Structure 1
Amino acid sequence: MTRIEFNDCFQYLTGNSPFHWQVRLFEEMIAGRIPDACDIPTGLGKTSVIAIWALALGDDLLKTSDVRRISLRLVYVVDRRVVVDQSTDEAETMIQKFQKALSDSESPLILKTMAHQYEQLSFTRSESLITLSSLRGQRADNREWCLDPSRPAVIVGTVDMIGSRLLFSGYGGVGRNHRSLQAGLLGQDALIVIDEAHLSPSFVSTIRSIKESVYHYHLLRPFDVMLLSATISSDVSRINERDSEIFSFDSTAENEEAKRRLYAEKELYWLSIDLADSATYQNRKPTAKQIRELIAKKIVEQALSYEGEGCSVIVFVSTVELVNEVTAVLANTLGKDSESRILKMTGEMRGAERDELATGEKFKRFLPYRDRQTQFVTYYLIATSCAEVGANLDADHGICDLSSLDSMIQRLGRINRFGKVKAAVTVVINKTNLETTDLNIKKHDMEENQLDKRYKDIQPLSIVQYYTWLTLHKLPKSTHGLDASPAALRGLPKEPRAYHAVPVVPYLDDARLDDWAMTSLQQAEYARPLVAY
């Protein structure tokens, strides 16, 4: 397939012209080179890997060679349940268009030929060219991906649902007779793509250990693993334990649309809260509740500065308690209009609540392709980290507290995602906590009597937050603040202390895999190790 043919097919399936990195990845895949990791900035269409795989498999099927290079199944793993639904919707749209290509006179000729080749693959001659299954809590697996192993399949699921099936356990009601079947289909002739891999270092380590174990044996079609993340370049050592081939993003070769997203205007400002100078807390240590109330008040004051602009404002905070506090203060201020303009999103939400949220009118005000011209009031989305990753949100402005560097990069990726506005991002920071941390780090060079007594009982920031603050200060200066565009973030120096430590992962050996593989034994007869460990 030529580049022109790929461009036509990609545009037909996705509705968008491909970026240069998408063309390059396709060419790598059809050459039989599956990268271990792809370092792609936020907002540049990482989910399109599904369409790229479908076209690479179709191109492979058109070749006369008896040896197929592209895996028959694509397993797309995400860390957030809400992202499973969005990824599933995108995959479903792509598959429907692929199916439509068979009868559509306007579809590219080569895509029509590919679709006929897909038809020939399935022993059951199913109507659908590619089966699609979604695996996440509270959503039933349709099992279509394991009914006909000869049929191409896209399986989208969370880390626990995919990981448990690979290890012969199968969360979500998989019976003993199906566990080995599903483990075999995921572990053979499959490309496992882990989206935002930096969020799941334990899973990455485990799946690489599995791959290392199974590669000791002669396999017909061993599985491949590819990591996707916007923070691989900054944090490569954490998720790439061994020498790995990284597919890098080349901004100089990209088209104008990609560059608009890469250099999207986002000015970062700091909003300090000084507890030590506050008259309320001058003579006594504030409680956690009082600090939370003060932070919520400052966040709401900043949020209300966008009233009258007819925009969408996203607020990221670290805890559910702070989400609730901010929501309550903002709702009390807005009064009767609050119900129709405030949206709350946390990881504690049930599946039905998330489904209702994602289809609601308020949520649509934060989607990339909304009509900004007809929005006359300001909407607010207040969320924890569950909205940071993978969710295709595009707020006009943002407010957040300070977290780890990878978390901050993901938060910034949900603001002015496609470079359509001039965005302001306000980071609320507890100045007193920050200064306490600074003194604690430097105190080995100071005498005890030199320490400021007002910091004696103040809880310092975590080391991760402190070094995130230091690292973000190295962003280029913009007109009024700091340049927080994806291009500027990619230029930040590597600072391992700005990331949370990788959890300890127990060693995975062949004996433990054998224990899990004995699915016919009852737990009472032979206690199989718990996968969740």
Structure 2
Amino acid sequence: MCIGFEKFDAAYRALTGHDGACRWQYRLFCELEAGKFPSDIELATGLGKTSIIAIWALALGRAILHPPCRVPRRLAYIVDRRVVVDQASEFAEEVRTRMEKAADDPGDPVHEFAATLRDAGCTPGVLETSTLRGQRAQDTRWRDDPSRPAIVVGTVDMIGSRLLFSGYGRIGPWSRSLEAGLLGQDCLVVLDEAHLCSPFATTLAAIERRQSPLAPFAVVRMGATMAPVTDLLSRTPGLRADAPREPFRLREDEVCEEKVRDRLLAPKWITLIEADAGAGERLAAWAVEKLTQERGAVGMVLNTVAEARRCVESLKAKLAEQGIQPNDVDLVTITGSMRGWDRDAVTRSREYGRFRSDRDRSVISEQPAFLVATSCIEVGADIDCDHLGTEVCAADSLIQRLGRVNRLGLRKEPGSAVTVVGKPDKDTPAGRVFLRLQELAKNGPLCGSAGTLPGCLLAGSQARSLLEARVPPPALTPAVLDDL
């Protein structure tokens, strides 16, 4: 029987440092403990999907006490963005550190869970954590003791190749089999932001279809926009339907919870600017104009690195026209083409800290702050801008970008301003999105809140045409896997 919400809430607070658990997190904990794994976890941006790492650790600590244990002993957390991998790894390390301390403190709310996990392995420790991504040294701690509960965070390439017996890096044939076995048995595979890698989602579905019942194994896809994934799965031959496993979505009583409601209904008022080209210059002008009204944290997201660079140059020029020197502005630039070392330096900087969701909002700086980025910040990045300007893009990307402004719902009315620059075009997903936004704007002020815009934007039979067709089927189908 699942523990009560109060006990779970106390353990969750102590393990994560957050200000309390949501009802949906408690429901997910109870389902995981009972061995019920959803096919998808579809939640709006800003609701804390990464917390599944802590929820899994608590569920495993409970399930081991009541055999047979239906919770997998390992968690493989996969996301197709290195920045997000690093953030998830930091969170996993925090969970491990708090678990280690709680195991020796009988008064800690997590003590019961941590002590159980400590006794589950053959080697010292409570949890093992490892990060698998490029530009990092080979990390093999997670495979040293198969009985030790472990959290493995990595990219699609690094973990996906290991599942298919061909691990990237300096891995010999024996190690490839070992790692494939550990990830393919007694493992909960969580694919975060699955819409970024729909073909890999179909590969995981095919792998799951062939798993033997020797040990619990499940694949759970997560994201705020799951339509591209489910569409590709439905069109991939040979995959069974996910009928026995239901997707995990918010219930009516969970939506009414204050913390969830504030984030879902955070006011984000959208203004459309029609322009054939020069989105970077248009957004730079808008950002400088916004500066005269409020000295907040303003973000701008462009579709290409070249346009982002033009936006930066235009922004500097327009600030100089206002008599503002470069040293008087906190300007952050993030693109996917940056070296890992440079990107890490940016995310650790004081300037970037002004855009973090957990920043101290009681401290008001006189210096304006601007963030210019490409689509690399669309997913997972814990960024909360006061206002946002974006170049028009496909619907799934736009929904993600809107999750980087007023993310926690702390800015009440009049809320945050969002400017979308682009041109209507029936031949591209981005152009069709702009047309759809113009159509919605005819009915009155257009709000981009996470709880309202996705449903309105993707309503109707033409929803698929608004999504980015990243890779069409066939993907890695069961027939191909059989050949392996």
Asked if TM exceeds 0.5, the reply is: yes
Shift of the alpha carbon at 1:268?
Answer: 0.7
Distance (whole Å) between structure 2 residues aligned to residue 466 and residue 328 of structure 1: 26
Counterpart contact for 1:235–1:496, Cα < 8 Å = no
Q: Distance in 1 between matches of 2:270 and 2:90?
A: 33
Which of 471, 474, 478 does residue 505 from structure 1 map onto? 474
Matched, 1:44 2:47: yes
1:477–1:394 Cα change, 3 Å: farther
Tell me how far 1:118 sits from its aligned partner: 1.1
Alignment of 1:72-151 (within 5 A): 72-104=73-105, 106-108=107-109, 111-124=110-123, 126=124, 128-151=125-148
Deviation at residue 138 of structure 1 after TM alignment: 0.3
Task: Check whether the contact 1:39–1:233 (CA below 8 A) recurs between aligned residues.
Answer: no
Aligned pairs for 1:314-393 (under 5 A) are 314-335=299-320, 336-337=325-326, 340-372=329-361, 373-393=363-383
> Do the aligned residues in 1 keep the contact of 2:127 with 2:149 (CA within 8 Å)?
yes
| Contact preservation (8 Å) 1:193, 1:228 | yes
AA matched with 1:497: S
Give the Cα–Cα distance (whole angstroms) in 2 for the partners of residues 409 and 235 of structure 1: 15
1:491 corresponds in structure 2 to 455
Q: 1:5 aligns with which of 4, 7, 20?
A: 7
Q: Distance in 2 between matches of 1:178 and 1:3?
A: 42
- Shift in alpha-carbon separation, 1:144–1:60, aligned structure 2, 3 A: same
C-alpha distance in structure 2 between counterparts of 1:295 and 1:135, whole Å? 36
CA shift digits 1:411-467 (9 cap, x unpaired):
00011100112110000123xxx2xx35xxxxxxxxxxxxxxxxxxxxxxx431233
Q: Judge conservation of contact 1:198–1:239 (CA < 8 Å) in 2.
A: no
| Contact 2:79–2:155 (Cα < 8 Å) also in 1 | yes
Normalising by structure 1, we get a TM-score of 0.82
Distance 1:172 1:302 in 2: 46
Relative to 1, partners in 2 of residues 1:193 and 1:152: Cα closer, same or farther, differing over 3 Å?
A: same
| Native 8 Å contact 1:266 1:484 kept in 2 | yes
Larger Rg: 1
| 1: CA distance, partners of 2:472 / 2:169 | 25
Residue equivalent to 1:177:
174
Aligned to 1:270: 272
User: Among 221, 226, 232, which residue is 1:227 paired with?
Assistant: 221
Separation in 2 of the partners of 1:95 and 1:266? Answer: 36
Q: Distance in 2 between matches of 1:209 and 1:235?
A: 14
Give the 5 Å matches for 1:185-196.
185-196=182-193
Does residue 1:306 correspond to 2:252, yes or no? no
1:230 CA displacement = 0.7
Contact 2:127 2:150 in 1 (8 A): yes
Q: Secondary structure at the match of 2:225?
A: coil
Deviation of the 1:323 alpha carbon? 0.7
**CA distance in 2 between partners of 1:120 and 1:5 (Å):** 22
CA distance in structure 1 between the partners assigned to 2:372 and 2:378 by the alignment: 11
Contact 1:394/1:415, CA 8 A, preserved across alignment: yes
| 8 A Cα contact 2:346 2:352, kept in partner | yes
The change in CA–CA distance for 1:239 and 1:468 in structure 2 (over 3 A counts) is farther
Unaligned runs of 5+ in 2: 236-240
Alpha-carbon distance in structure 1 between the residues aligned to 2:467 and 2:49: 22
SS of the equivalent of 1:375 reads coil
> 2:431 corresponds to which residue?
466
CA displacement at 1:211 relative to structure 2: 1.7
SS in 2 for 1:94: helix
Q: Displacement of 1:400 after TM fit?
A: 0.8
Instruction: Find out whether 1:163 has 2:160 as its counterpart.
Output: yes
Greater shift in the superposed pair: 248-257 or 92-101: 248-257
- In the alignment, residue 453 of structure 2 is paired with which amino acid? L
Counterparts of 2:452 and 2:436, CA distance in 1: 12
Contact 2:329–2:368, Cα closer than 8 Å, also in 1: no
Assess if the C-alpha contact under 8 Å between 2:118 and 2:127 holds in 1.
no
1:18 aligns with 21
Q: Distance in 2 between matches of 1:396 and 1:508?
A: 44
8 A contact 1:135–1:161 mirrored in 2: yes
Q: Where do 1:29-40 residues align within 5 Å?
A: 29-40=32-43
| 2:400 aligned partner | 410
Aligned to 2:421, the other structure's residue is in SS state strand
- Conserved? CA contact 2:285–2:318, under 8 Å: no
What code does the residue aligned with 1:191 have?
L
Letter of the 1:143 counterpart? T
Q: Partners of 1:322 and 1:409 in 2: how far apart?
A: 20
Deviation at residue 28 of structure 1 after TM alignment: 1.3
> 1:332 and 1:37 mapped to 2: Cα distance?
46
CA, structure 1 residues 231+6, in 2 after alignment: closer, same or farther (shift >3 Å)?
same
The residue matched to 2:405 in structure 1 has which SS? coil
